[in-house]
Amino acid sequence: MSRPRIAFLNRCYWPDIEATGQLLEQLCGSLSPEWDITVVAGQPNKNLSGEAFVRRGQQKRDGVTIDRLPHTTLPKRSKIGRLINLLSFTWQARRWGRRGAASKAFDVIVSESDPFFLPIVAAPIARKMGAKFIVYTQDVYPDIAIGLGVIKEGTITRQIRQRLLAAYRQADRIVVLDDDMRDRLVGWGLPREKFSIVPNWVDTEAIRPLAAANPFRVAHDLDDRFVVMHSGNMGMSQRLEVLINAACHPNWPDHAVVALVGDGARKAALQRYAAERGAQHVRFIEYQPIERLTESLTAADLHVVSMDANIRGCLAPSKLYGILASGTPVLAIAPETFSIAREIRSHRIGCAVPPGDVAQIVDYVRWCVEHPDELAASGQNARTLAQTRYDRKIACQQFADVLNSVCQFANFDHPTPSTIATHLESQ
């Protein structure tokens, strides 16, 4: 009997630094000992590692075949340029599918959501190959763009949603990140039984609390400070102005600082806003490579995850899992109905405050400063949650279970439930 041949379609993949590409690289590396894995990917937006890669065609890495497609790479800061890049990649993915259809090259096609309209192209590819079809969505468009006010609901958005809905209905399974995302797509008219929930994850062996003095705190003059950190993308959905406003509040603790670590489309605007406010308690720190992630994440006394109130179920904050693994409490700026707020309450890992509520943010930061023992207990709860629910071994095995269930009627060898964990432990 043969191993299933699986193709993942997603623009972002190694050596790109974007979170979806890093997660997909980890997933495929975990699956590759038992499945024949190909990733159909595009050109990276950023290759900070400087590693050489094949820009067009195939290469093998960590047991995974990467089929890199050529497409336009106009500057991402231009909205038109970014759209052209995404359309160009999608066109090339369609051509790739046409070439492979006759050979029945794959048994399963997994379409991610970068770009969001990729499943529209992937569905007919899977059908022509006679392959099983899985949609693996990291975000829900056009809903997220509407929620953030980028576009308005209208004829075009309804047509996009209908095209996506038609593709999703052809899927043998739809994998989403949490129950909020599932509920939003069920609201589109999809049957609940079509969904599997597989959260994003963290390698809890790679990211763990530091026992000794943290070099990141020393390097950035944070050693004697209470550090309230936002780490990751500074985009439209985070609404980080509220943190700057909190740090400028007269009741903000004198020795507390807001550290905004990373990059993103809104970083320059946030820097200007902080300068206009004279925000002496706000610091901007450059993006940290993945090999230094433990140092940067554990440098915080309190981590912030901020979500716009209008995008419930549109995305899940993947940064949360690294925060939990670092053993750091969480301040979620999100409505109490969001899944992250519910999880914080149920597992006692921090606090959730409504978006825009500067006073509650300041009050909680002051409480944390004044109650170090309770704060430490929340951090221990966070670490436990990461190890028991969001560890890489657990989530990748859940995805393997989805693949097995989709392929159950075919003539394939199937990995045992312990395969993923055994492989990762041997690495």
CATH of domain 215-388: 3.40.50.2000
Q: How confident is the model at residue 52 (pLDDT cuts 50, 70, 90)?
A: confident
- Provide the percentage of residues in the chain whose pLDDT is more than 90: 80
Highest-scoring range by mean pLDDT, 43-57, 168-182, 222-236, 258-272: 168-182
Spell 168-206 as b/e; 16+ CB within 10 A means b.
beebbbbbbbbebbbebbbeeebeeebbbebbbbbbbee
Domains of the chain, residue spans = 5-201+391-426, 215-388
Q: Which two tokens mark 232? A: 């990751």
Identify the pLDDT of residue 21. Answer: 93
Task: Calculate the dihedral angle through the C-alpha atoms of 204, 207, 211, 215, rounding to the nearest 10 degrees.
Answer: 180
Question: What is residue 291's predicted lDDT score, i.e. its pLDDT?
Answer: 83
pLDDT of residue 19: 86
Residues whose CB is less than 8 angstroms from the CB of residue 274 and which lie 6 or more positions away in sequence, other chains included: 244, 282, 284
How would residue 22 be classed by pLDDT, with cut points 50, 70 and 90? very high
Residue 127 has pLDDT above 90, yes or no: yes
pLDDT band at 265 (very low <50, low <70, confident <90, very high): confident
pLDDT tens string 207-256: 999 867 899 999 999 989 999 999 988 887 788 999 999 999 999 999 99
Question: According to the model, what pLDDT value does residue 411 have?
Answer: 52
Kindly report, residue by residue over 66-89, the tens digit of the pLDDT. Answer: 999 999 999 877 889 989 999 999
- Please give the pLDDT value at position 213: 81
**pLDDT of 210:** 87
| Fold match, 5-201+391-426 / 215-388 | yes
pLDDT at 413 over 60: no
- In CATH, which superfamily holds the domain spanning 5-201+391-426? Glycogen Phosphorylase B; (3.40.50.2000)
